[in-house]
């Protein structure tokens, strides 16, 4: 049995801004189900949602901070969660990365340096928890200093760094390195230094014993300048220690047969409940309740990565077609405003919800016919897998995990039964529009559409295979 300390900045259902939380809330559960001892370490933010009993475990002094570690359990699991309680740094309103006005935390480097220092203390069994992990599994730049700090320790646990997104790097001026009081020997070309600045991501990539990312295609893409965000050289240098493991989904939480957010449950054997959800979605959003009209859904952080600009450019043509569009998202203010303007211009055709809403996300997955993900890049992407599971056919760009999970509906793939969606390659509004038109043509052929839906619903996107691959990876180097 391996003992794994899983360090993350968010974990569903306790705190979530995106897919990292989904993975941190479901992969540890799947690993525990494989008989391993996995424990989560995450900051106790003010916004954290705790539903299980909590108890005090210990109090330690780390750098200049008094820290309490409190223990709870990840809901619906046996996984222990250790909360880093340091009110001075984490007890302000906002999410893990921005304050309540949406501004990035001015002290974000201090926040995640403390998380890393606490992780190192726990990893070295110096936090009075009486537990010595074999491996510390780090996730994204927020945990990038953990492998660096542990590299300074004798007889330390092994470190794995998982890249969920290369575009967020945690880069700060050199002066920040000094004020954080980090050991000077970490500075340098082979250390945390990145073009004269401090880079948390580079630290993780450089010091971890092993690196992985969340799809096989993204593992290749990030070794090129188009996707490597300046770190492609380091990644190709370390390619013998870099693998891709596709994310799974929490197939109990995202299950159309049992999902309690839905107006009706349904399965691949009986899709009739899907129409009930479609009607409910149309009704709640003020769209005409029209069973035959295709509904296109999009749920996303509204950022450039997700190809929102491509979608916006298509909209003026899409509204001329007999379809309805439903968008749920938040992020970039100009994307939010343009979407809201279009919704005001075309009521009854486009419905836009700006904000974050878990219940609506589930209803859109169930009620829409087609799901759009025109991402410029997508390390894995979870929404296309949720869509496949809910019989909502995805239209995606061929990149990262989208390329690894969606098989384009072409004559051959339709014939051999492997098609489950629509895929385009070129980053252009024209390519997206053409692909949506292709999807609408198949939608007009119900038996063929049903075949696509069922292929998607019968696919296995659970953690079964991928959690096993993580376990093999843990076993490989410790
Ligand atoms: P990313 O992590 O890059 O945002 P993913 O597809 O991996 O992309 O995961 C996004 C997750 O966040 C999904 O669970 C999705 O349903 C959820 N999500 C994104 N935006 C919203 C929103 N506005 N409301 C509810 N859920 C959202
Ligand atoms: C990131 C990526 C997304 C991935 C998620 C979980 O947020 O943008 O593609 O699915 O992490 O790994």
Name residues whose C-beta falls within 8 Å of residue 196's C-beta, 6 or more positions apart in sequence: 174
Q: pLDDT by residue (tens digit) across 262-313?
A: 999 999 999 999 999 999 999 999 999 999 999 999 999 999 999 999 999 9
Determine the length of the chain: 478
Nearest ligand 1 atom to alpha carbon 305: 3
Pocket of ligand 1 contains residue 19 by CB under 6 Å: yes
Q: What is the arithmetic mean of pLDDT over 406-430?
A: 97
Pocket test for ligand 2, best of 164, 221, 329, 387 (most atoms within 8 A of CB): 164
pLDDT at 424 over 80: yes
Give, using CA atoms, the residue closest to atom 19 of ligand 1. Answer: 300
- Pocket flag, ligand 2, residue 18 (CB < 6 Å): yes
Q: Which residue has the tokens 């993580």?
A: 470
Kindly give, in sequence order, each residue whose CB lies less than 8 Å from that of residue 187, ignoring residues fewer than 6 positions away. Answer: 177, 193
Check pocket membership of 359 for ligand 1, CB cut-off 6 A. Answer: no
Quick: pLDDT tens for 122-178: 999 999 999 999 999 999 999 999 999 999 999 999 999 999 999 999 999 999 999
* Chain segment 12-24, per-residue pLDDT in tens: 999 999 999 999 9
The residues pairing with 243 across neighbouring beta strands, listed in sequence order, are 212
Helices (H), 141-188: 145-151, 174-180
Res 189: pLDDT: 80
What are the percentages of helix, strand and coil residues in the chain, rounded to 5?
Answer: 40, 20, 40
Please name which ligand lies nearest the alpha carbon of 384. 1
- Cα–Cα distance between 28 and 241 in angstroms, integer? 22
Position 102 pLDDT exceeds 90: no
pLDDT 10s digits, 170-220 = 999 999 999 999 999 999 888 999 999 999 999 999 999 999 999 999 999
Determine which residue's CA is closest to atom 9 belonging to ligand 1. Answer: 19
208 CB near ligand 2 (under 6 Å): no
For the CA of 378, the closest atom of ligand 1 is 3
Residue 357 has what pLDDT? 96
CB 387 within 8 A of CB 420: no
CB atoms within 10 A of CB 178: 12
Average pLDDT, the chain: 97
Q: 356 CB less than 6 Å from ligand 1? A: yes
pTM for this model (two decimals): 0.97
CA distance 294 to 277: 13
Ligand 1: which of 382, 385, 400 to mutate, judged by most atoms within 8 Å of the beta carbon?
382
Cβ–Cβ under 8 Å, residues 213 and 242: yes
Task: Tell me 307's DSSP state.
Answer: T
Express each pLDDT in 55-90 by its tens digit.
999 999 999 999 999 999 999 999 999 999 999 999
pLDDT for residue 188: 82
Distance 3 CA to ligand 1 centre (A): 30
- The string of pLDDT tens digits covering residues 215-242 is 999 999 999 999 999 999 999 999 999 9
Task: Tell me how far the alpha carbon of residue 6 lies from the centroid of ligand 1, in angstroms.
Answer: 21
The residue whose CA is least distant from atom 2 of ligand 1 is 19
Categorize the per-residue pLDDT at 4 as very low, low, confident or very high, splitting at 50, 70 and 90. Answer: very high
CA dist 289 and 26 (Å) reads 35
Across the range 87-101, mean pLDDT stands at: 95
Distance of CA 17 from the midpoint of ligand 1 (Å): 7
By percentage, how much of the chain surpasses pLDDT 90?
Answer: 98
How many angstroms separate the alpha carbon of residue 329 from the centre of ligand 1? 8
In angstroms, what CA-CA distances link 312 with 325, 333, 340, 424?
12, 14, 11, 17
Look at residue 478 and tell me whether its pLDDT is greater than 80. no
């Amino acid at each position: 049995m391996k003992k794994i300390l899983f360090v993350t900045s968010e974990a569903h259902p306790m705190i979530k801004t995106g897919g990292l939380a989904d993975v941190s809330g479901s992969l540890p559960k799947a690993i525990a189900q494989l008989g391993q001892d996995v424990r989560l370490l995450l900051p106790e933010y003010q916004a954290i949602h705790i539903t299980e009993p909590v108890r005090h475990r210990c109090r330690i002094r780390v750098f200049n901070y008094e820290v309490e570690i409190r223990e709870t359990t990840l809901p619906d699991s046996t996984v222990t969660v250790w909360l880093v309680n340091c009110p001075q740094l984490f007890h302000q309103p906002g999410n893990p990365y921005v304050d309540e006005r949406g501004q990035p935390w001015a002290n974000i480097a201090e926040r995640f340096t403390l998380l890393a220092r606490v992780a190192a203390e726990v990893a070295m069994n110096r936090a009075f928890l009486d537990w010595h992990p074999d491996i510390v599994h780090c996730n994204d730049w927020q945990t990038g200093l953990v492998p660096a700090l542990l590299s300074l320790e004798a007889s330390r646990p092994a470190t794995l760094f998982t890249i969920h997104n290369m575009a967020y790097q945690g880069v700060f001026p050199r002066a920040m390195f000094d004020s954080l009081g980090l050991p000077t020997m970490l500075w340098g070309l082979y250390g945390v230094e990145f073009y004269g600045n401090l880079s948390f991501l580079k630290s993780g990539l450089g010091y971890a014993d092993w690196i992985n990312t969340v799809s096989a295609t993204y593992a290749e893409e990030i070794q090129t300048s188009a996707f490597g965000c300046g770190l492609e050289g380091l990644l190709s240098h370390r390619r013998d220690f870099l693998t891709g493991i596709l994310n799974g989904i929490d197939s109990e939480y995202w299950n159309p047969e049992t999902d309690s957010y839905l107006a009706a449950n349904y399965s691949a054997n009986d899709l009739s409940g899907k129409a009930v959800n479609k009607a409910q979605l149309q009704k709640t959003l003020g769209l005409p309740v029209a069973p035959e009209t295709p509904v296109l859904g999009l749920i996303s952080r509204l950022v450039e990565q997700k190809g929102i600009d491509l979608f916006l450019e298509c909209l003026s043509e899409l509204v001329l077609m007999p379809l309805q569009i439903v968008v749920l998202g938040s992020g970039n203010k100009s994307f939010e405003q343009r979407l809201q303007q279009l919704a005001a211009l075309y009521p009854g055709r486009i419905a836009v919800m700006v904000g974050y809403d878990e219940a609506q996300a589930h209803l859109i997955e169930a009620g829409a016919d087609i799901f759009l993900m025109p991402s410029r890049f997508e390390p894995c992407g979870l929404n296309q897998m949720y869509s496949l599971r809910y019989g909502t056919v995805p239209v995606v760009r061929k990149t990262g995990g989208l390329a690894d999970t969606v098989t384009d509906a072409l004559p051959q793939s339709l014939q051999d039964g492997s098609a489950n969606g629509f895929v385009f390659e070129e980053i252009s509004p024209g390519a997206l529009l053409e692909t949506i038109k292709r999807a609408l043509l198949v939608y007009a052929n119900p038996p063929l559409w049903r075949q696509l839906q069922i292929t998607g619903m019968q696919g296995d996107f659970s953690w079964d295979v991928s959690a096993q691959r993580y376990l093999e990876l843990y076993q490989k180097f410790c």
